[in-house]
């Protein structure tokens, strides 16, 4: 591993630890968080498996990526497909039951609570979004409440909040709050804050 790669890895780990402190008021110390937070373990494993997924010239790399991702799922209770694209400072709080599909795209500074699904809506040609995407795209600084389900090639705009147990099947404009089953969006007032447990 080159010095530049080591610096990049250390920077990413520091950013992820800072995201954990920012996203969880119960976070005590970076050492404790690094050892006990399954959300951090899942995202760090994802970063490794994603690199393997993209290493097409390396024979067996995609199989290895899927195998490691499956092992991480067994340990953390969080399933992140190695093909998903996840931005910086991503944090999963109380991660059990989170599922992120292969073509999902997630921006920077996104906070996800337990039981969230970023799922596809079948394999039919008409179900695919831009670039063949069949899973949601989530903008920067989005909060996904516990148990929410985002289904299909939809887009959730930046600075939006998806409420707990909300089912989202249509695009969400930036700066919105989405609630309910067959979620409806409204402009965000700025007073909603981050959902707490």
Kindly list the domain boundaries of the chain, sorted by start residue: 3-187
Q: Which CATH number fits domain 3-187: 3.30.470.10, 2.160.10.10, 1.10.10.60, 2.60.120.10?
A: 2.160.10.10
pLDDT at 196: 46
pTM (predicted TM-score): 0.86
Phi and psi at 86, nearest 5°, equal -125, 130
Q: What Å distances lie between residue 151 and 63, 85, 99, 128, 176, CA to CA? A: 26, 16, 11, 12, 17
Tens digits of residue pLDDT in 85-120? 999 999 999 889 999 999 999 999 999 999 999 999
> Which residues are 40's β-sheet partners?
none
What is the number of other CB atoms lying within 10 angstroms of the CB of residue 22? 14
Half-sphere exposure of 124 (CA within 13 A, CB side): 5
The average pLDDT across 30-46 equals 94
CA 53 to chain centre: 17
Tens digits of residue pLDDT in 174-186? 999 999 887 667 7
Residue 135 confidence (pLDDT) above 70:
yes
List the Cα angle 149/68/135 in 5-degree steps: 25
pLDDT at 1: 65
Q: 195 in helix, strand or coil?
A: coil
């Amino acid at each position: 591993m080159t010095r530049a790669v080591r610096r990049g890895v250390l920077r990413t780990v520091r950013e992820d630890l800072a995201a954990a402190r920012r996203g969880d008021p119960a976070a005590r110390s970076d050492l404790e968080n690094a050892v006990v937070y399954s959300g951090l373990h899942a995202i760090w494993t994802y970063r490794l498996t994603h690199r393997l997924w993209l290493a097409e010239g390396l024979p067996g790399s995609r199989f290895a990526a899927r195998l490691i991702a499956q092992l991480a799922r067994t340990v953390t209770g969080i399933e992140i497909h190695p093909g998903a694209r996840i931005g910086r400072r991503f944090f999963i709080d109380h991660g059990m039951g989170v599922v992120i599909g292969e073509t999902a795209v997630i921006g920077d500074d996104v906070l996800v609570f337990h039981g969230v699904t970023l799922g596809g809506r079948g394999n039919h040609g008409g179900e695919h979004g831009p670039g063949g995407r069949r899973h949601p795209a989530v903008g920067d600084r989005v909060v996904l409440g516990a148990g929410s389900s985002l289904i299909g090639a939809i887009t959730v705009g930046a600075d939006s909040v998806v409420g707990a147990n909300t089912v989202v099947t249509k695009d969400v404009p930036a700066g919105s709050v989405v609630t309910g089953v067959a979620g409806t969006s409204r402009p965000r007032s700025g007073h909603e804050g981050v959902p707490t447990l």
